[in-house]
């Protein structure tokens, strides 16, 4: 891992798993928090999760999670000195233009962090061979 505190990045499918009450993703977040480290949520993944959820409960849950101190919301294009928007777009090409997945991959690469997802096949396409993908699909 790099020297920063981000241990895990949650993509949009991992956020959907949280909304659906999947225990494994909750235990992952709790473990990272217990270790005094951070879970990163790319803003585009949060937006995609909001778009995919229906009803006020899912929206409220996502808002609650995103404001948890153990969670760091990662913006896109907010810092002119960082080429994150371009990197996200280039990485997203391999995922058929899925900007949220490109942003999740960019965040994982930049922080040298694990990527948690319920769609490991898609994640593997945008990450280097051998990168750590925490598979939530079998839980």
Partner 1 sequence: MTAKRSISVPDDVAQWLDDQPNVSAAITAAVRAQMAGTHLDEALRRAGIEVTEAGKARWRERLAAPIPPEALAEGQRMLDEAA
Chain residues binding partner 1 by CB under 8 A are 1, 7-8, 18-19, 21-35, 60-61, 64-65, 67-70, 83, 86-87, 89-91, 106, 108-110, 112, 114, 127-132, 134
Q: What is the DSSP letter of 78?
A: -
The nearest distance, CB 128 to partner 1, in angstroms, is 4
The nearest distance, CB 47 to partner 1, in angstroms, is 18
Number of H helices and E strands in the chain, helices first, is 7, 5
The nearest distance, CB 12 to partner 1, in angstroms, is 16
The nearest distance, CB 25 to partner 1, in angstroms, is 8
Strand partners, 114: 8
Residue 104 backbone dihedrals phi, psi, to 5 degrees? -65, -45
**Which residue has tokens 């061979």?**
129
Q: What separation, in Å, do the N-terminal and C-terminal C-alpha atoms of the chain show?
A: 25
Nearest-Å Rg of the Cα atoms of the chain is 14
Question: Could you tell me the two tokens for 120?
Answer: 């490991």
Q: How many CB atoms lie within 10 A of CB 6?
A: 21
The nearest distance, CB 129 to partner 1, in angstroms, is 7
């Amino acid at each position: 891992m790099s020297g920063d505190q981000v241990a895990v990045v949650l993509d949009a499918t991992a956020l959907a798993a949280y909304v659906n009450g999947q225990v494994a993703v909750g235990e992952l977040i709790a473990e990272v928090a217990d270790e005094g480290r951070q879970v990163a949520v790319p803003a585009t993944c949060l937006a995609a999760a909001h778009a995919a959820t229906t009803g006020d409960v899912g929206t409220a849950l996502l808002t609650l999670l995103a404001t948890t101190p153990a969670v760091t919301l990662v913006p896109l294009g907010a810092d002119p000195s960082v080429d994150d928007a371009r990197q996200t777009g280039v990485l997203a090409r391999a995922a058929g233009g899925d900007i949220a997945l490109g942003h999740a991959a960019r965040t994982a690469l930049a922080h040298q962090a694990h990527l948690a997802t319920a769609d490991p096949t898609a994640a593997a396409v945008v990450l280097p061979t051998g990168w750590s993908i925490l598979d939530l699909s079998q839980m």
